[in-house]
Amino acid sequence: MLLVFCLAAALWAGGYLAGVSRSARAAAVGVLVLGVIIAQVALPFGHPLREATGGSAALWLILAGTGVLVLVYGWGLKALRARAARAVTQEQAMPSDQFSETELERYARHIVLRELGGPGQKRMKQSRVLVIGAGGLGAPALQYLAAAGVGTIGVIDDDEVENANLQRQVIHRDADIGTPKVFSAQRAMQAQNPNVTVLPYHRRLTNEIAAELFADFDLVLDGTDNFETRYLANRAAAALGKPLISGALSQWEGQLSVFDPANGAPCYQCIFPQAPAPGLAPSCAEAGVIGPLPGVVGSMMAVEAIKLITGAGQALRGEMLIYDALYGESRKITLSRRADCPVCGPGGQ
Residue 333 host element (H or E): strand 329-334
What span, in angstroms and rounded, lies between the C-alpha atoms of 219 and 242?
A: 5
How many Å apart are CA 206 and CA 227, to the nearest integer? 13
pLDDT given for residue 96 in this prediction: 53
DSSP 251: B
CA 209 to chain centre: 25
Write down the pLDDT at residue 93. Answer: 45
Helix locations, the chain, DSSP H:
2-17, 22-42, 48-52, 57-93, 101-106, 108-111, 117-126, 138-148, 181-192, 207-215, 227-240, 268-271, 284-287, 292-310
Domain architecture of the chain: domains with CATH: 2-93 (no CATH), 127-334 (3.40.50.720)
Residues with Cβ within 8 Å of 182's Cβ and at least 6 positions away in sequence, in order, are: 134, 155, 156, 157, 200, 201, 202
Spatial separation of the C-alpha atoms in residues 253 and 290, rounded to whole Å: 9
Q: How many CB atoms lie within 10 A of CB 316?
A: 23
Dist. CA 184–CA 177, nearest whole Å: 9
Contacts of 116 (CB under 8 A, 6+ apart): 110, 306, 310, 312
At 232 the three-state DSSP class reads helix
Q: What is the pLDDT along the chain (349 residues), one digit of tens a residue?
A: 566 566 666 765 666 677 667 777 677 667 766 766 676 567 666 666 656 666 666 665 677 677 777 777 777 777 777 776 665 555 554 445 688 999 999 999 999 999 999 999 999 999 999 999 999 999 999 999 999 999 999 999 999 999 999 999 999 999 999 999 999 999 999 999 999 999 999 999 999 999 999 999 999 999 998 899 999 999 999 999 999 999 999 899 999 999 999 999 999 999 999 888 776 666 767 778 999 999 999 999 999 999 999 999 999 999 999 999 999 999 999 999 999 999 998 866 5
